Structure 1
């Protein structure tokens, strides 16, 4: 997987038991071409958040926390603007993602858009195409039967632990 190396000289703060940059705007980040001589180097993963519209607030909260931890996060309400092709923007987001966070919902994950997103990610994962599906029980619900063997993070039970689990999964793979 391609990772983008970045330098972050921002002050760190503890959020949900995890040290993250105090500023997530990116203004304190610079590209770092080499490992040697870089201060504060860390990998930044490309993460797509797949969620139901009913869970938009919770999904945005999660996306903000992942972004604050230094990752490049794709969230529909941030990336699809007025007049944009929805299909084109989602396709680009999925093609660029190294991780797809599937937000399990109390209203299910069988709606057309979310189904296409997680099924696409699963197919690419099984074909070793450089993407990993990370299920998170965001507002409730259960895994689809085909994903029953995949460990999920439970944000309903403990949001901070679920966030740590996502960050650890991303860190472990890089």
Structure 2
């Protein structure tokens, strides 16, 4: 039988259990009932989300801060992208700020009214035929087109942007948006560098140099030499008509959202080395702490613009 997966913070467990009881046990996956001693929790959660028909997020301030909720939500978004029949229901139960990319799923908005929120969720799940109303928006346009964001980037092309940050949940189209902005706004190609946990200054310098078709840094080069080589390679790529796009930067952030020192130094050198007429793009599923010397010009949807 199709069932709903309830995602919640530990502080909202009592409300989640009330919802689970209202939906009946066979219609819901609830951690208190369905996790067994010895289960590998991440695997069990992923399997249960993939096997569910509905994903219900009880959105509260604590839930928005929870790493487990973020983990579950990312899996649900991936499932939603792959399965046209999959449904995500976000229910705001306090005055938390719901990420703009979750707004299409905000079917129930009852801050401070938890009992009403439960009633509304149950009505959706137990509607005639066992389904819920499909949203009127197109999944493809939500992920791919991004017309408003492209227009927002066009609006600031003459503002001297050093960096454009694209951030949001996995699968919402940050990479596609970066590629489209490069071609449609800046008439450039993209030179994309997906970052991983194994990246260090040497590896990044080698990748940048190879992409720019420059001589590779010498063996045992100092950090200062590697930084200079990296900045020169970025400038070379820009001069050759490319936008440099550092993608997946959440992979290198620490728990506080800070960059490794070598990335901070690289970005500082980049924005001090020249006046860019083409910005550097950054994309992340986590919000990073950017350089203190950068000023945020504006914020629109998943985009933030920074200048010196």
Task: Supply the distance in 2 between the matched residues of 1:148 and 1:99 (Cα, whole angstroms).
Answer: 17
Q: Closer, same or farther in 2 for the Cα pair 1:124/1:63, shift >3 Å? A: same
Task: Supply the distance in 1 between the matched residues of 2:88 and 2:10 (Cα, whole angstroms).
Answer: 19
Asked whether the 8 Å contact 1:104–1:139 carries over to 2, the reply is: yes
Matched, 1:119 2:74: yes
Matched, 1:92 2:71: no
Asked whether the 8 Å contact 2:46–2:75 carries over to 1, the reply is: no
Matched, 1:151 2:106: yes
Q: Compute the TM-score of the two structures, normalised by the length of structure 2.
A: 0.38
Task: Supply the distance in 2 between the matched residues of 1:121 and 1:169 (Cα, whole angstroms).
Answer: 18
Superposed CA RMSD in Å reads 2.3
Task: Supply the distance in 1 between the matched residues of 2:37 and 2:110 (Cα, whole angstroms).
Answer: 31
Determine helix, strand or coil for the equivalent of 2:64.
coil
Determine helix, strand or coil for the equivalent of 1:55.
helix
Q: Compute the TM-score of the two structures, normalised by the length of structure 1.
A: 0.63
Between 1 and 2, higher relative CO (CA 8 Å, sep ≥ 6) is seen in: 1
Asked whether the 8 Å contact 2:53–2:87 carries over to 1, the reply is: yes
2:5 equivalent in structure 1: 48
Task: Supply the distance in 2 between the matched residues of 1:133 and 1:149 (Cα, whole angstroms).
Answer: 9
Query: What is the aligned counterpart of 2:89 among 134, 155, 165?
Result: 134
Asked whether the 8 Å contact 2:64–2:70 carries over to 1, the reply is: yes
Task: Supply the distance in 1 between the matched residues of 2:85 and 2:122 (Cα, whole angstroms).
Answer: 17
Per residue, is there more strand in 1 or in 2? 1
Task: Supply the distance in 2 between the matched residues of 1:163 and 1:91 (Cα, whole angstroms).
Answer: 24
Task: Supply the distance in 2 between the matched residues of 1:63 and 1:142 (Cα, whole angstroms).
Answer: 24
Structure 1 stretches of 5 or more lacking a match? 5-44
**Rg larger in structure:** 2
Structure 2 stretches of 5 or more lacking a match? 133-308
